A and B are shown apart, each in its own frame.
Chain A
Amino acid sequence: EPEVTQTPSHQVTQMGQEVILRCVPISNHLYFYWYRQILGQKVEFLVSFYNNEISEKSEIFDDQFSVERPDGSNFTLKIRSTKLEDSAMYFCASSPMGVQYFGPGTRLTVT
């Protein structure tokens, strides 16, 4: 069964560094999402992406965040200058329409 994959599974970075989190959505899906979940807290929507552009974004998704679909398969989330409070699990999800299928997540630790 096709599944969403994410790399790396765990990323440790220093404050102020840039990170790129990678996702490979399910191939025939049209909608792509990034969420984050700070340890012990709820899942928070960051951004949705459709037809090669952002369709919605939350207040969390400020100028330090960006998303790209560089090659038609990968879907990336870039955090330009990481802060301690960016430490969280980042989930990618994809959807044909309606139901979202989540990847296993990337645990980002900012030190």
Chain B
Amino acid sequence: EDKVVQSPLSLVVHEGDTVTLNCSYEVTNFRSLLWYKQEKKAPTFLFMLTSSGIEKKSGRLSSILDKKELFSILNITATQTGDSAVYLCAATSYGQNFVFGPGTRLSVLP
């Protein structure tokens, strides 16, 4: 059965800290890995990763995929209170199925 595991499930940091969120996956016919940020309602897209070892960056956020070890990390540097959210990782297959992990709840304290 396809599955996605995220760790930690919950994380509390102070503003300015750097955090690393982990996602491991087991998906048949893996296609890509996506990261989303979920605040109050719908998930919003952050990154899509399809190739190993190529870092994607957007401002203070960056992510990388390791297809050999079947994991991805999401880094957030110089965290701000606005980064507080649940960060979801999802693995997709060529069958267009998306399998979501449970999310990491990040709380950034001022």
Q: Which residues of A line the B interface, CB within 8 A? A: 31, 33, 35, 41-45, 48, 50, 55-56, 89, 91, 98-105
Residues of chain A with a CB closer than 8 A to B102's CB: 41-42
Residues of chain B with a CB closer than 8 A to A48's CB: 96-98
Q: How large is the interface on B (under 10, 10 to 19, 20 to 34, 35 or more residues)?
A: 20 to 34
Contact of A42 among B92, B95, B100 (CB under 8 A): B100
Residues of chain A with a CB closer than 8 A to B96's CB: 31, 48, 50, 55-56
Question: Which residue on B lies nearest to A49, using beta carbons?
Answer: B96
CB distance from B109 to the nearest CB of A (A): 22
CB distance from A47 to the nearest CB of B (A): 10
Question: Which residue on A lies nearest to B88, using beta carbons?
Answer: A43
Q: How far is the CA of A48 from the CA of B43 in the complex (A)?
A: 17
Decide: A56 near B43, CB < 8 A? Known: A43-B88, A98-B48, A100-B34: no
